[in-house]
Amino acid sequence: MPYIKIEVTREGVTREQKQALIVGVTNLITEVLDKDPKLTHVVIQEIDLDDWGYAGEQVSVLREKGITAHR
């Protein structure tokens, strides 16, 4: 039973985009690992910008500075 967790910053990922991720990842696991799609679980977790950081800075602060790399 594959379990795939996708974490993204909370920046307006739409329901349709999430559905596309779920379908795409499920298909990939089915094709590459020959796993039953009915047993594949995909979880998408959205993280607040204050709770995600890189390069020693919160993403919220980086966005305020106009830095959008690694989006």
Which residue in 1, 2, 13, 34 is the catalytic one? 2
CA 50 to CA 8: how far, in whole Å?
A: 13
What beta strand segments (E) does 1-71 contain?
A: 3-9, 41-47, 53-54, 57-58
State yes or no: is 2 an active-site residue. yes
Q: Which residues are catalytic?
A: 2
